[in-house]
């Protein structure tokens, strides 16, 4: 007796045709098996196909998938902390991932910068820097390459500087001051917020461009430098606008010229260096965001786009203005070019001025 068969119906039909030549009597039974197999095949549901696996997300789509660490290589307090915490909160609000602000001061920003370089290049650790980042390599050895080991993401803001002098200096404009300083080589003292800082290099650049010889007096911060300038211990200082403004309005300092292409709206009576007849004093200070080299381009682009969006927000513009800063939007490519140009420019100033800094 024939048993039921699980052979496919088409196979049974072929087998029946072959058997019919040799065993004609078995033909009816074979066709019954065919019919049974066909019925089973039609009544048995086909096995469900394996569910399709969703394609893996790209790095940009998946990012960020954990908290972001924003390293500030400066001590807490001051403009950098205010800006860092503000943009950190904006990122948190936009992406739903917490941004942890991590102050890592010390070593002229080297400690915080090195911590970022050693982080995974996945966009979850970023670094806020100033123009000092591209100045440092010309002043002392660093445990990283300031250009090759960092991926520029976006600029954030910038500020120009102005030349302010003690009211006791008998000069009412830049031309008179240069003449006064040239007649007294080595007798005038200029302050800086720190040796090797942008305020130091601004005065060194003034010496080179105007052909002056002055003495450098470094301070630990802009506040003490301005205090001694008012007191007459030093005669000049390159200051950001915000801290010097009240002193200028009170008549305790005289402003001679500002860097930048146009006059400041808050000091419309003070000319730019170009207008005052001394071009080449480009001493703008900027802040920006870097990531470790190797961070995917898509993630760099996503971060850069978000920073550009937030810099257009009215509340962020207002906060920057309270710190004497202007929004500065750029692409990663533009930021890269700016970093290299500023690094090369100040390297020439440091070499020409024979500037040495103890690390």
Q: What's the number of domains the chain is made of?
A: 2
Which of residues 258, 273, 295 is at a domain's end? 258
Given 258, 276, 298, the domain boundary residue is 258
Are 348 and 331 contained in the same domain? yes
User: Which pLDDT tens digit goes with each residue over 320-337?
Assistant: 888 889 999 999 999 999
Query: Residue 39 falls within a domain, yes or no?
Result: no
Instruction: Return the structure tokens found at 8.
Output: 């496919």
Range with the lowest mean pLDDT among 34-43, 133-142, 178-187? 34-43
Whether 278 is in a domain gets the answer no
Read off the pLDDT band of 162 (50, 70, 90): very high
Shared-domain flag, residues 92 and 238: no
83 and 229 co-located in one domain: no
Q: Domain ends where: 258, 293, 320?
A: 258
Residues 222 and 300 both lie in one domain: no
| CATH number where 237 lies | 3.40.190.10
pLDDT of 76 reads: 87
144 and 288 co-located in one domain: yes
Same domain, 79 and 223: no
Q: Which residue has the higher pLDDT, 231 or 45?
A: 231
In a domain, 5, yes or no: no
Answer whether residue 42 is part of any domain.
no
93: domain CATH number is: 3.40.190.150
Q: Is residue 43 part of a domain?
A: no
- Mean pLDDT for 54-74 is 81
223 and 137 housed in the same domain: no
17, part of any domain: no
For the ranges 17-26, 150-159, 270-279, 301-310, which has the lowest average pLDDT?
A: 17-26
Say what the pLDDT of residue 323 is.
84
Are 215 and 245 part of one and the same domain? yes
Question: What is the percentage of the chain residues whose pLDDT exceeds 70?
Answer: 83
In a domain, 274, yes or no: no
pLDDT band of 58, cuts 50, 70, 90? low
Same domain for 324 and 249, yes or no, is no
Domain ranges, residue 194: 162-258
Instruction: Tell me whether residue 271 is in a domain.
Output: no
């Amino acid at each position: 007796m024939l048993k039921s068969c699980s052979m496919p119906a088409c196979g049974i039909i072929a087998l029946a045709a072959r058997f019919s030549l040799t065993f004609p009597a078995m033909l009816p039974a074979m066709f019954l098996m065919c019919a049974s197999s066909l019925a089973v095949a039609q009544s048995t549901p086909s096995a469900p196909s394996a569910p399709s696996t969703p394609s893996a997300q790209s790095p940009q789509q998946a990012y960020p998938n954990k908290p972001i660490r924003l390293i500030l290589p400066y001590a807490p307090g001051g403009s950098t902390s205010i800006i860092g915490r503000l943009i950190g909160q904006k990122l948190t609000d936009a992406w739903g991932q917490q941004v942890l602000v991590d102050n890592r001061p010390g070593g002229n920003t080297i400690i915080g910068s090195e911590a970022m370089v050693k982080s995974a290049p996945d966009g979850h650790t970023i670094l806020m820097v100033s123009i000092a980042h591209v100045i440092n390599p010309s002043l002392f050895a660093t445990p990283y390459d300031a250009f090759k080991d960092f991926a520029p993401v976006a600029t954030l803001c910038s500020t120009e500087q102005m030349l302010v002098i003690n009211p006791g200096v008998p000069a009412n404009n830049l031309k008179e001051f240069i003449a006064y300083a040239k007649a007294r080589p080595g007798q005038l003292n200029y302050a800086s917020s720190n040796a090797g800082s942008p305020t130091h290099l601004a005065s060194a650049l003034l010496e080179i461009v105007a052909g002056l010889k002055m003495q450098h007096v470094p301070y630990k911060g802009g506040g003490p430098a301005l205090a001694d300038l008012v007191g007459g211990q030093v005669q000049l200082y390159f200051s950001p606008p915000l801290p010097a403004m009240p002193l200028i309005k009170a008549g305790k300092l005289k402003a001679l010229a500002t860097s930048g292409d146009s006059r400041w709206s808050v000091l419309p009576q003070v000319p730019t260096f170009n207008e005052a007849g001394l071009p080449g004093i480009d001493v703008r200070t900027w802040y920006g965001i870097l990531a470790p080299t190797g961070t995917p381009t898509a993630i760099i682009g996503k971060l850069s786009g978000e920073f550009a969006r937030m810099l257009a927000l009215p509340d962020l513009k207002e906060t920057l203005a309270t710190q004497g800063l202007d929004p500065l939007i750029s692409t990663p490519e533009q930021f890269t070019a700016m970093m290299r140009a500023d690094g090369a420019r100040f390297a020439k100033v440091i070499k020409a001025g024979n500037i040495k800094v103890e690390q």
